[in-house]
Structure 1
Amino acid sequence: MKIAFYGSSLVSAYWNGAATYYRGILRALARRGYDITFFEPDVYDRQKNRDMDPPPWCKVVVYEGTVDALKAVAAEAALADIVIKASGVGFEDDLLLAEVMAAARPGALTIFWDVDAPATLAELKAAPDHPLRKALPDLDMVLTYGGGDPVVEAYRALGARDCIPVYNALDPETHYPVPADQRFSADLAFLGNRLPDREARVEEFFLEPAARLPDQAFLLGGSGWQDKPMSENITYLGHVSTRDHNAFNVSPKAVLNISRASMAENGFSPATRVFEAAGAGGCLITDAWEGIELFLKPGEEVLVARDGRDVADLLAGLTIGAARQIGQRALIRVLMEHTYGHRAGAVDSLFRRMSGGSAGASTAGSIMANSEAAE
């Protein structure tokens, strides 16, 4: 089956947290025989900051950030069996949704894939006349980056025929254990861009513990933090290429995951970095959010902190040996249950079932929950 996928960017992770998610899901689907074309606009300097070439498993079409170019690529949806418009494409999203769905041929599956459901839902609830809200009843389904029951119920209440979470996972070909790199040596490292929905939590879970532990070394990666006040034991790296993520995750004693506020409130939304860290065998400390036990076992495969004081206490009592054991247990768990191969197996079954005539029927559950049966 042919998939036309309209998203932010596949070839650049620059200001594009969904890149790893797209790559993992689509590569695994390609292995199952899908013919995929990914359409992405040339915006936000992403093409100037590519971190991968167009892959052999997916055709990438980069179009100019103009309305004419958008309409031209939207017309290509007519050639696909499955038409997917993702959230946060970054250029005329509402127009792109309308053009793509109008071009989709009769009988094609039409899907909205939301990679930031809490933000999208807040926008929809605030605007009863939002174009996406009006389009929901005509789409075959909504797939989401995560969110669990709260997100599913919210989308159904807004008129979606169904909503199924497709959780993040590990791509073992891109995230795996590597030798430690002295550039990323530290007691605790955090990688994330500076965003309004995250900044206060970074202050609480990372900057405050660093100030509490002046004898320990902290490492901060990600764009936008250069003018942020921070203690002298924090080294700021700026943007860290995806090519260095494995070393970044495995070199410190522990790495930190800090959910954006909206993701933490909804729960059931493990960030891509959770699986990247586990895949590298890194010891992960994460802020607390509902549903984490479905992915990693607290205390054995991941350490969970309720606040900055917990982070400081966990780090102060963590030995290098214990950290390595936690990282190894996490690696084993995600390889057994949480790879993009697992997710793609369930997505494949869902697509084939919906294409077989059951479009519109409820498919309650999540891709993670159904993944083992699909393998």
Structure 2
Amino acid sequence: MEPQRMRIVILGLSITSSWGNGHATTYRALVRELVRRGHDMLFLERDVPWYAAHRDPGGTWAGRTELYTGLEDLRQRFTSEVRGADLVVVGSYVPQGVDVGAWVQGTAKGVTAFYDLDTPVTLAKLERGDFEYLAPHLVPGYQLYLSFTGGPTLQRIERELGSPAARPLYCSCDPELYGPGAGRPRWDLGYLGTYSDDRQPVLERLMLDAARGWPEGRFVVAGPSYPKAWCGRPTWSACSTWHRRSTRPSTPPSASR
């Protein structure tokens, strides 16, 4: 029996630019595979200057991608698509995400979901009353709370925030782009990710401690937003290298080696 074709709308941070935005890799892989399964995909992205100035080269993504300038533009141009979709997903860090979420919940006739690719940050924000892209009163209105976090945190989201169904939807990448390369390996261990204070203690243990203990190895850290003091720190081992950024389409050859 053929699977039912669904009309799916995703309102996400950005699929067109990976500039300081790890969401792009997951969204591109997710949308591509859903299209391959026969679903009709529409990705809606707020057109903001910092992503507009850093669109990734070769930017033809699976499905249909549309930019909107603000809430009024979103409502005027895409109400019918949201109303007619079988599933509408609002992602974390969507600009004006609370207003967008309220509009989606009041407009969509199908299933609505919140996709949290920043769950620890989201929960910390809610605890201190920072409702940048999600507010507590919206959580019960999403039929699904999809999170890149698994385990007991999902039960906490259901118990404390009133989600009807919190389920894992882990971050992913396209194996056709990020599979092992054919070239000779340049690094023994690498880390690719945006700087974040809460990740640094683990990164220290994973990369820098290992590099100090294995001077014959080759280690690399790559990603945006690292403070200058961290990048030029004297604790870097002689066998460690740091790169500020690599645009996603050109990342796989270097990342896989």
TM-score interval w.r.t. the shorter chain? 0.7 to 0.9
Taking a change above 3 Å as real, the CA distance of residues 174 and 153 of structure 1, as seen in their structure-2 partners, is same
What is the rounded CA distance, in whole Å, between the counterparts of 1:32 and 1:154 in structure 2?
32
SS at match of 1:4: strand
Gapped regions of structure 2 (runs ≥ 5): 1-5
Task: Within 5 Å, give how 1:344-359 maps onto structure 2.
Answer: none
Paired residues in the alignment total: 243
Q: Which residue of 1 aligns with 2:12?
A: 7
Q: CA-atom RMSD, angstroms? A: 2.6
C-alpha contact 2:92 2:117 (8 A) present in aligned 1: yes
What is the rounded CA distance, in whole Å, between the counterparts of 1:21 and 1:109 in structure 2?
21
C-alpha contact 1:114 1:145 (8 A) present in aligned 2: yes
C-alpha contact 1:74 1:100 (8 A) present in aligned 2: no
Q: Which residue of 1 aligns with 2:244?
A: 238
What is the rounded CA distance, in whole Å, between the counterparts of 2:148 and 2:16 in structure 1?
19
C-alpha contact 1:140 1:162 (8 A) present in aligned 2: yes
What per-residue deviation string (whole Å, max 9, x for no partner) do you get for residues 116-146 of structure 1? 2222223234449996321222222211223
The alignment's TM-score, normalised by the length of structure 1, stands at: 0.58
Task: Within 5 Å, give how 1:78-227 maps onto structure 2.
Answer: 78-89=83-94, 91-105=95-109, 108-127=110-129, 132-148=135-151, 150-157=152-159, 158-169=161-172, 171-180=174-183, 185-225=186-226, 227=228
SS at match of 1:110: strand
C-alpha contact 2:179 2:256 (8 A) present in aligned 1: no
Amino acid at match of 1:180: G
Q: Is 2:60 the counterpart of 1:61?
A: no
What is the rounded CA distance, in whole Å, between the counterparts of 2:130 and 2:193 in structure 1?
33
What is the rounded CA distance, in whole Å, between the counterparts of 2:200 and 2:111 in structure 1?
38
Taking a change above 3 Å as real, the CA distance of residues 237 and 127 of structure 1, as seen in their structure-2 partners, is closer
C-alpha contact 2:25 2:173 (8 A) present in aligned 1: no
What is the rounded CA distance, in whole Å, between the counterparts of 2:205 and 2:34 in structure 1?
39
Q: Is 2:70 the counterpart of 1:37?
A: no
C-alpha contact 1:187 1:217 (8 A) present in aligned 2: yes
What per-residue deviation string (whole Å, max 9, x for no partner) do you get for residues 138-179 of structure 1? 22221122322x122011111111111123345332222322
SS at match of 1:208: helix
The percent identity for this pair of structures is 29
Amino acid at match of 1:153: Q
C-alpha contact 1:82 1:110 (8 A) present in aligned 2: yes
Taking a change above 3 Å as real, the CA distance of residues 47 and 221 of structure 1, as seen in their structure-2 partners, is same
The alignment's TM-score, normalised by the length of structure 2, stands at: 0.82
C-alpha contact 1:74 1:103 (8 A) present in aligned 2: no
Q: CA deviation at 1:199?
A: 2.2
Gapped regions of structure 1 (runs ≥ 5): 252-375
Taking a change above 3 Å as real, the CA distance of residues 27 and 46 of structure 1, as seen in their structure-2 partners, is same
What is the rounded CA distance, in whole Å, between the counterparts of 2:91 and 2:225 in structure 1?
25
C-alpha contact 2:150 2:167 (8 A) present in aligned 1: no
Q: Is 2:48 the counterpart of 1:46?
A: no
What is the rounded CA distance, in whole Å, between the counterparts of 1:186 and 1:126 in structure 2?
41
What is the rounded CA distance, in whole Å, between the counterparts of 2:250 and 2:182 in structure 1?
11
C-alpha contact 2:105 2:141 (8 A) present in aligned 1: no
Q: CA deviation at 1:37?
A: 0.7
Amino acid at match of 1:221: A
Taking a change above 3 Å as real, the CA distance of residues 173 and 128 of structure 1, as seen in their structure-2 partners, is closer
C-alpha contact 2:89 2:112 (8 A) present in aligned 1: yes
Q: CA deviation at 1:70?
A: 4.4
C-alpha contact 1:194 1:225 (8 A) present in aligned 2: yes
C-alpha contact 2:220 2:242 (8 A) present in aligned 1: yes
SS at match of 2:175: coil
